[in-house]
Structure 1
Amino acid sequence: MAIINCPECTHKISDQSVSCTNCGLPTSKMNFLIKCPECSESIINQSASCNHCGFPIAKPAPFKNIQHSSEELKELKLLKELEEVGEPDDYGFFNHANIFIISCIIIYFLAKEEIHYILQSF
């Protein structure tokens, strides 16, 4: 993947883009050099195959503008926010091990007399 300048607005875009993210000019109308994935020779992006080795050059799939419902847009926004926030790896003092230990201590003190009675019977 290479970064190229859009011939229309000179905005930097990926050579794999379907269109310029700034002005919308389709990359199919742009002429620029790319490297052949097989032999690394420079070829024009409009070529169907490499002039040097004959390797077929794949064209990016056309962009389809999908209309989402308002509910889908809300869900997509929430998913994006969750990805940005992430899930905490450390819960501080209240991690699973500490909660287990504290629970055991509380159970011990609540059932202290019963445990003492059971131990004396042996």
Structure 2
Amino acid sequence: MDKLRRKLQDFMAGRYGMDQLGRFTMYVSIIALLISLFAGNNWFYLIALVLLITTYARMFSKNHSSRYAENNKYLEWKEKFFSFFRGGARQAKDKDHRYFRCPNCNQKVRVPKGKGTISIRCPKCQHEFIKRT
């Protein structure tokens, strides 16, 4: 058993391994396999097979920089997706302020309601824009 473990460690030395994107694709492939099992749909089976192959190809890859960049893109996408749902709840509860996006840098800016048409300065890029509160 120790020889098998050592051979596996030697094989994986220098390889990229599993990351967040790999876990996500693995979970999606398992879900697609279960759907294909119960629905009898070959398309889900094909999708699951392609996802499993790409997951293992990423795991066994020795090109760390490309895999790292792919994972960072996935994490950025994931953060944007979940931040969309997180930010909306706070804005819906806040009845005393309005929220705007800076047209220059896309930063959210909170201003008090009921002040009429005002000039708003973005705290991040110092760009000024005019909005009605």
Same fold (TM over 0.5): no
Relative contact order higher in (CA < 8 Å, ≥ 6 apart): 2
Larger of the two Rg values belongs to structure: 1
> Which is richer in strand?
2
> Which is richer in helix?
2
TM-score of the superposition, structure 2-length normalised? 0.25
TM-score of the superposition, structure 1-length normalised? 0.27
